[in-house]
Structure formats: structure tokens, C-alpha cells
Amino acid sequence: MWRFRTALLLAWAAAAACAEPAKPFLHGLFTDNMILQRDVPCPVWGWTAPGAQVAVTLEGQTVTALADAEGRWLVKIGPRPAGGPHVITVAGPQRVTLKNVLFGDVWICSGQSNMDMGIDGVNQWWNELPGAPVEGVRLYWVKPASSFAPEATVSGSWSAASSDVLLNKKKPFTTVGFSAIAWMFGRKVHQQTGVPVGMIECAQGNTSIQSWSKLASLRQEPEYGTALDPLAYYEQQLTAWAKASDPAYAQSDAWRSPAFDDRDWTEIALPQDWSKSALPGFAGLVWFRRTVSVPADWAGSDLRLNLGPVENQSAVWVNGTFVGGEDGYRRAHLCRVPAGVVKAGANVIAVRVLGSRGFVGTPGEMTLGKGMGADDSLSLAGLWKCRASTPAGKLTGRGRQYDRIWVPGGLYHGMVAPLAPFAIKGVLWYQGEGNAGQTAYEQELTALIRDWRATFGQGDFPFYLVQLAGFGPLPALPGKSSWAVTREIQARVARTVPNSGLAVAIDRGEIQDIHPPNKREVAERLAAVALANSYRFDVPCEGPTYRSMQTEGNRIRLSFDHADGLKSLGSGPAGFAVAGADRRFVWAQAWLDKETVVVSAPEVQEPVAVRYGWGDNALCNLYNRADLPAVPFRTDAW
């Protein structure tokens, strides 16, 4: 049975690579108002009939390509200098005209919720909105999608930065609005350079770096191993949770089994809010079942199962085989059903939902279709059987099913891989809260930068990091900190990986808010890194950075790079701790001596180590003349 299951999962993975959504004539990144990368050949691509010729024309210059055996075609236009607007015509079996196209610099902005956080979450956000559309800054939002295999395209559109676009309410979950970091960075760079700037927001809150990583790199880690398969991993996590929380999953006549007798279950017409019909006031786990008759010529084909939006989490089985699930009611819950699972005639679909409302879409959104995007489909709207399992108050463990956005490689497959090989200037990365304290993060972040650069095939393009902001109460005593470890890793990666950089944000954190609202200063620090390194402006972009220490009796003198005009805000430098050979840190007295800091503590007469800003949150007030904060550090390796 185990071997059969493994074979089936491997077959599913192979099928998933082929069973992609219907591929458009023109990739979803190419729309009116787009910005293409200046000064480089820009790939333009899409899909059509194999062997068909496609011609792309820009101002009288035409480039042609033939679609390959899988229907993919690709041309390169340019290089072109910054400017526009231009009109681009794509002609083949279809014809598309792209208007108001600019050439400039394109930045991908990725990470978790602090990158995803919208403009309407920042301090006095109304002052950050443009009075009129800013034609020189164009925005593109990648809809969050986690996939078990690389997707081909994304759907969206480019728009000039405007109040309406920045306040986009279509984004899922709570971090609504276009990325504040992305908008403020793009605005600053455009103002300083005059070059059109395109900002692609490709972020998702509450995510780990593993979700954004390539599987090939994750398979080198002992935690995952060479056999890592995303669907199998996802099912494993769901199963572990279900065994503790859902008796209906563990029992021998499991409700997911096609042989289960559901005749005494309640009928419910879907889609509808179960709280208003079959299960008033219920919140927790509810199972749904339906038998669907599949045409004979569909047997042996991959099918697309769409449940529409579901509040909040779903897990889906077809004929007893797990085929996937989704989290979040503002997105379609889609599954690929591999050919080996489908049979002619009766097929049983079982869905477990965790929520308080259930299916909240429209009838037209609930379908089972042949292939991916085929016109022939069966409606799944109508009568289903349902039965409640576990109330929310009795759920064990974390109280939620495993979220698909945590699937290893899932966001890379669904949001990053589909963007390549779009020509870009670089990447801005704000992530790490989801991996705080994990020493493997250094290897994973280094691998992610390497892998993304390889994916886009444009050399070692700039990759700029935001270091974690402070969060939580200020520590009464100096001690261990998982967030400090992650900040140290971020600083080291920015220092050692070519063409990377760091924006420090520890001084802009909040005690009670993991999403600090002061995003403007962080974005402008990121912009300073880009202006200095990518645009060669003579602007300061680094704060005081620890260089060396010297013991002077019962005190230590610290020297820094980028320390011109070293200063502290307040009565003197704060956030320093010192320890002797016993490795017990105490808060230190600190004072400035020109461009050095001297620290000591009465309790430590023979100091050997110093830490600064070492805490999940920390009182840090050391800056240079440019008002850039010192990078948190430690002199020890304890």
C-alpha cells in the first residue's frame, strides 16, 4: 500500500507539471501601461499553436519567433533607453496591441507581511497618496498563489501609481493596499533619477523562506531530504493535524472514502453559507460529499476541480485520494485531479472545510473540468451531503489545518517562477519573521538569492534586504534572542553575497505591532542602498557597522565603519551589553569618543565581549551624520 501511495504521488507530480492552466497567447505580465527594463534585451513570450509564427513590433522594428512543440514562443526586443510611451504589437494567430509602454527599471518586491503591508497601514497614510497619477511609477500586483509545481503565468495588469491603485481592496487577508515599501521606494528612486520605475509586488504574509525557495536547494537540507515532494509534504502535515483534531479522519470508515455510506447526512445546496441553513451558528470542521458522473472520454485525463472561494480552509479528496486544498476565502480553492484518480462514471468528491460559513462563491465558480481551462466542464453547484465533525472549541494543536502557503517551494512555484524570464533591475526582500532564530536561514537565504538569479538568467542583479524591525517588549536584562540571530544572518548575507545590501529597521519597530507603521523611512533607506549601489549616486546608505574592538583595562573600545559624525540620540548611547569570561551579559555604560564607542560595567572588571541591539526589540540610538542607524552586532560567537 505504501509503495502504491508513493507511486501515485510521483505520478501526480509528473501530471501536475503537464496539467497547467490554459496558457494565454501573451503572458500576463504584458499589459497596457507596463514598464520594460531599459538597456537590456527584454524577453516577451506567450503560447499559441505549435509551429505558429508570432511577430512582435516596436516602432517599426519587428522580431519573429516560431512556437515550439509545446506552443511556447519567445522573442527579445530592445535594448531601449529609458522613456516612452511606446506601442507594441504582438501578431500571430491572435493580435494584441500594448499601449502606453515605458522603458525604465523594474524591481520585484517580495517577502512576507511587512512587504505585503499596504499603504493604508502606515503612519498618516493619506499624506503618502499622490495628488494625481504618477506616470513615472507603474505598479503590478501578483495575486498570491501557492502551487505544487511551477505555474506558467500570472494574471494582473500594470497601472500608473494612483490613489485608487494604491488603495487596492482586492488583496486577500488584512494587509490591503499596494505594498507601502514598494510604492515609497519606487517614488524615491523615480524622483532622484527621473527614470520610470516599475514595482512588482510579489509578497504574502505569514510565510517562511522555504515557501519562496526552489525545491532543489531544500532537498539538500536534512529536514526535507532528497525525496521532498510538495503534495506529499502537504498531505503529511494535514494528516498529522487531522489525526488529533478530526475523529472522522481517523476512523476506519473514514468520511473521505468513496465507500462510506452518507445516506443519513444532511442535504445542502452549494454554494451557500452553512450558518444560514444546515448548520446555524456552527464553527469548526464540516465535511461535504458529492458523487459526480464523469464522461467516459474524460477517464485517464487530468481534471481541474474548482470550489470557488471557501471560508476558510479546505482539504479535498477524490475517490479517497488526496488532491490538495487551499486557505483563504478571498481566493478560488483549486485542485488538480491527476488522471490516475479519475474513472468513467461515478466519482466521489469529499471536502473537509474548517470555518464558520463554508462555500461563499457563486454557482458558476464550482466546476470540474477536463484538462486545465477546457471549455467542457461539469457544474458542482447543487445538492451535496454535509455533516459537522469537530467544533472549533474542541480542535487540538494549532487550531488550523496546515496552510498551503507554507508548502515548501509553493510560493516560488506559484508567484516567482511564472515571472521569469521577465527582465528586471533587481529584487527587494523583506522577510525573516517566519524563520526567526533558525540558523539554517543563512544557507537558505544565500541559496534563494542564487536560485532566483539563476531563474531569471540575468546575472547577479541587485538583491537588497530589509533587516527585521524591533518587535516586543524591551528586555529587562540582556540575553538570548531569536530575532537578533536572524538580524545577524541578514547582515552577514548582505555583506558576503555579491551585489546585495541591507536597510536597517530595528529602530523603527513597535512593542505591540509586528507590522510597524513607519514604512517611509525604511523604504527610503532601501532606496538609498539602491541609489548608491545600482545608480552610482553619491549618497550615504550605510549606518555605523562594527569593525573591531580593543580592551582597555576594565572597558572596551569599539570601532566602526561608516561612522562619520557618530552620534547618539538622547543622553548617551544605549542598547550595549558587556560580558566577561563567564559569558554573563549585563547592561553597559557607554559613551562616545570621536568615532568610537567606549563601554564598561562595574560588574565586569575584565570584559571580553560586547553586544549592541541584541534582542527581539532593543533600545538602539547610535547613528552617523546621515541619520542612518548602527547595525546590531555582537563581538562574540556564543
Q: Is 173 exposed, middle or buried (0-12, 13-18, 19+ CB in 10 A)?
A: middle
**134 and 163 part of one domain:** yes
- Percentage of the chain with pLDDT > 70? 95
**312 and 390 part of one domain:** yes
For residue 210, give the C-alpha cell. 522555504
**239 and 388 part of one domain:** yes
Q: Is the peptide bond before 85 cis (omega within 30 degrees of 0)?
A: yes
Which residues in the chain come in under a pLDDT of 70?
1-21, 169-175, 252, 371-375
CA 482 from centroid of its chain's CA atoms: 21
- Final residue belonging to a domain, choices 394, 428, 458: 394
| pLDDT at site 332 | 85
- Final residue belonging to a domain, choices 347, 365, 394: 394
| pLDDT at site 4 | 35
Residue 502 located in a structural domain: yes
User: What DSSP letter does each residue of 476-499 carry, written as one string?
Assistant: SS----HHHHHHHHHHHHHHHSTT
| pLDDT at site 20 | 44
CA 433 – CA 66 distance, rounded (Å): 46
Residue 23 located in a structural domain: no
**340 and 466 part of one domain:** no
CA 615 – CA 617 distance, rounded (Å): 5
For residue 296, give the C-alpha cell. 467516459
| pLDDT at site 7 | 40
CATH no. for residue 111? 3.40.50.1110
| pLDDT at site 171 | 62
Nearby residues of 34 by Cβ (< 8 Å), 6 or more positions away: 98, 101, 102, 138, 140, 158, 198
Span 288-305, pLDDT tens digits: 999 999 999 898 888 999
Span 161-173, pLDDT tens digits: 999 999 986 665 5
Residue 52 located in a structural domain: no
Residue 36 located in a structural domain: no
**469 and 413 part of one domain:** yes
**339 and 365 part of one domain:** yes
CB 192 within 8 A of CB 537: yes
Encode 544-610 in three state secondary structure.
Answer: CEEEEEEEECCEEEEEEECCCCCEECCCCCCCEEEECCCCCEEECEEEEECCEEEEEECCECCCCEE
**248 and 354 part of one domain:** yes
When divided into structural domains, the chain yields a total of 3
Residue 304 is part of which domain span? 230-394
CA 194 from centroid of its chain's CA atoms: 29
**206 and 278 part of one domain:** no
Residue 34 located in a structural domain: no
| pLDDT at site 370 | 83
Residue 630 DSSP class: P
Span 425-460, pLDDT tens digits: 999 999 999 999 999 999 999 999 999 999 999 999
CA 619 – CA 613 distance, rounded (Å): 7
**350 and 462 part of one domain:** no
Residue 553 located in a structural domain: yes
**461 and 380 part of one domain:** no
Global model pTM greater than 0.85: yes
| pLDDT at site 172 | 55
Residue 139 located in a structural domain: yes
- Final residue belonging to a domain, choices 494, 509, 533: 533
CA 225 – CA 222 distance, rounded (Å): 5
Residue 538 located in a structural domain: no
**482 and 592 part of one domain:** no
**248 and 368 part of one domain:** yes
CATH no. for residue 288? 2.60.120.260
